[in-house]
Structure 1
Amino acid sequence: MTEGSYLRPDLSLAGAEHVRRYQETDGEVGYRWNGAHILLLTTTGRNSGRPRTAPLIFARAGDDYLVVASKGGAPTHPAWYLNLRENPQARIQVRAERLSVVARTAGEQEKPRLWKIVNEVWPPYDDYQARTDRDIPVVVLTPVPRDEAG
């Protein structure tokens, strides 16, 4: 996809409203968004210490969930990514399923393979990367076995 072919997504369900509707319906509303699948990521605010939830497009690589800290190609990282760098322990909701996860940024060796996977799910990621000088991270969310999740 080139910059000229970029189609702006339907943002009629976004932000806090997207989170609320997803949580209320266990993903019946909000799991499918603009042709992609959405999970809810809950991090701990690095300044507030409070839970912060964001709806994010995701892909899968084995048991892991992949999300992209794109912020639409903005020059700065999204807050949820900064929160994960401070505290990689998080929670996700995928439809009705809720899981504890540990987050890590994909390393230099694995990122090209994972970028292909996430770009198949959401091709605009290439456009977002072209808009910024920042290297857009792919974040790997690894589920914590239930007996370790507490």
Structure 2
Amino acid sequence: MSNERKPVEREVAPRVPPRWFVRTVWALHRGVYRITAGRVGLRRPRARSWGTLRVITTGRRTGCEHSVILGYVEDGPNLITLAMNGWADGEPAWWLNLQAHPEATVELADGSRFISAHAAQGEERDRLWARWQEIDANLDGHAALRSTETAVVVLEPRPEPHHEPHVLS
């Protein structure tokens, strides 16, 4: 008999950069996008990688326009993102805004489109979460850092809004 101890396999929680670092990177990314007038900062997803898009929401309290750059994958005509708030607790403001006003606009590397947002549920959520796991092997570990379930957000294309001309009588 051997007195050798077998190493115990433990799941190590993924490391997340400090909040100040995450927020700085977000600000720099938005700044580069702004300075280059949108020529840099957005990209299409690749086979084993997510892309970046800019979503423009209506503020739930102010009614003002807000924008944020997010990672996404494609699912047919739909764009799929995660409401992860940098893996910190709490829902990101953009997701709260979309819950209050689901119709929004996204800018992609190859143009913009109008969308309507909803949280995936049940089998749809499981399937889309698995799609993200193909890209991020630590997805479950990162999600475990949050005290609430991370919403899988579906951005579905919608027709361009039709505005009736204002007729003076």
TM-score by length of 1: 0.81
Unaligned runs of 5+ in 2: 1-10, 44-48, 163-169
The residue that corresponds to 2:156 in the other structure is: 142
1:88-99 mapped onto 2 (5 Å cutoff) = 88-99=102-113
Does the CA contact (< 8 Å) of 1:26 and 1:96 recur in 2?
Answer: no
Shift of 1:27: 4.9
Distance in 2, matches of 1:13 and 1:63, equals: 32
The residue that corresponds to 1:58 in the other structure is: 72
The residue that corresponds to 2:117 in the other structure is: 103
Output one character per residue of 1:65-109: Cα deviation in whole Å (capped at 9) or x when no partner.
Answer: 001001132221100110011010111111141111000100122
The residue that corresponds to 1:21 in the other structure is: 32
Task: Describe the SS at the equivalent of 2:122.
Answer: coil
Shift of 1:126: 2.2
| Higher RCO, Cα 8 Å, sep 6+ | 1
Give the counterpart letter for 2:126 in structure 1.
P
Compared CA separation, residues 122 and 63, structure 1 to 2 (3 A): same
Q: How many residues are paired up?
A: 145
Unaligned runs of 5+ in 1: none
What's the % identity of the aligned pairs?
30
Does the CA contact (< 8 Å) of 1:73 and 1:131 recur in 2?
Answer: yes
Query: Which has more helix, going by share of residues?
Result: 1
Distance in 2, matches of 1:67 and 1:14, equals: 18
Distance in 1, matches of 2:15 and 2:125, equals: 23
TM-score by length of 2: 0.73
| Aligned residues: CA RMSD | 2.7
